[in-house]
Amino acid sequence: MVVSLSLSLQDPVPRDPAGKGQDAGGKDEILIEVKDLKMWFPITRGIIIQRHGGDIKAVDGVSLFIRRGETLGLVGESGCGKTTVGRTILQLYRPTAGEVLFEGEDLTKMKGERLRHMRRRMQMIFQDPYASLNPRMTVGSIIGEPLEVHKLGGRKERKERVQELLRVVKMNPYFVNRYPHEFSGGQRQRIGVARALAVNPDFIVCDEPISALDVSIQAQIINLLEELQEEFNLTYLFIAHDLSVVRHISDRVAVMYLGKILELTDRDELYRNPLNPYTQALLSAVPIPDPLVEEKRERIILIGDVPSPAHPPVGCNFSTRCPVVMEICKEKEPEFKDVGRGHWVACWRV
């Protein structure tokens, strides 16, 4: 007996009667909507008597939406808050302020059993395949753990489900009794993908899933994620540094800097017509395999370091490094607005 991924085991979460996918509203149906999301981590001072000495503003007013079945790429420098956005959407971090709507229901107001049931529909693929798998557990136990947590199926059904998941990620189903140290980085990441798929999620946060892998393996994992998305109508938030990979896999791209989103639009529009100076600087650093184009292209070099998220600049967060900064940029924060055809940008020059 083979347990298909398309089947749900005793689904306790109420679903849309119309089902999911394009038949239930198509690509225009919004699955995830984030409104003015903030995630501040408190800074405490003192050893015996701890006092609140400020906040690390890791995410500071992020708003975005993700349509069902699409991939939203999230890019930016290290430490800008990309991973925190993903973890906060999944409620692994409880946000300081803002709303996270999953099919119209606010996850930030859910607790206990209701939130646990909703988490069945949201999973995460972690960045480091060496740290995200428990070295003391077998592959079968790792992939089957979500099924046990959510009490899905009996022992025999779980075993069959784990073997089917290994086949889906193109691994030998008889590896269930092996341990993570027996596998390469690419194989470990496939195990992580299988674990994320175990409970039939609708939405997956891919937190830099290929950054720790060799270049030759990266393409295999990207192709696998695309095949799984097409087959099971998955929705991705794809967090990455590599802008070439993001352009390949994403439908739309959001550019993040120091806890805020500076630009969000369709991937082709972003690469063809970047409006924010920070986006322009990022894209100028992407190598192009054409010597004639590369020779004529102007490289934008940003001066200075990224400010501390504990003390962000007044006005625009990018004002301290922007090559075309104006006085108003240092005094007032620009509005994140739609300038046409779904092209959102926060910049006084637009």
Q: In what order do the strands lie in the sheet with 260-266?
A: 122-125, 203-207, 235-240, 71-75, 252-257, 260-266, 344-345, 337-338
pLDDT over 70 percentage in the chain: 91
Eight-class DSSP state of 19: -
Nearest-Å Rg of the Cα atoms of the chain is 21
Q: For residue 1, what pLDDT is reported?
A: 35
In a domain, 185, yes or no: yes
Instruction: For residue 345, tell me if it sits in a domain.
Output: no
Q: Is residue 10 part of a domain?
A: no
User: Which residue has 């920070």 as its token pair?
Assistant: 278
Q: Is residue 155 part of a domain?
A: yes
Q: And the tokens for 72?
A: 């939203």
User: Which tokens belong to 103?
Assistant: 């099919």
> Tokens for 336?
């994140």
Q: From the CB of residue 287, how many other CB atoms can be counted at a distance below 10 Å? A: 9
Residue 141 forms part of a structural domain: yes
- Binned at pLDDT 50, 70 and 90, residue 44 comes out as confident
Domain of residue 156: give its range.
133-199
Does 153 map to a domain?
Answer: yes
**70 closest CA partner among 161, 169, 202:** 202
CA angle 38, 43, 45 (to 5 degrees): 160
Q: How far is CA 260 from CA 35, 84, 225, 314, in A?
A: 12, 12, 27, 13
What is the rounded CA–CA span in Å between residue 151 and residue 167?
22
3-state secondary structure of 210: coil
- Cβ atoms of 102 and 13 within 8 Å: the answer is no
Is residue 151 included in any domain, yes or no? yes
Domain count, the chain: 1
Q: Do the domain assignments include residue 149?
A: yes
- Rounded to two decimals, the pTM is 0.87
For residue 65, pLDDT beyond 90: yes
pLDDT tens string 295-338: 777 788 888 889 999 999 999 999 999 999 999 999 999 999 99
Higher pLDDT pick, 69 / 21: 69
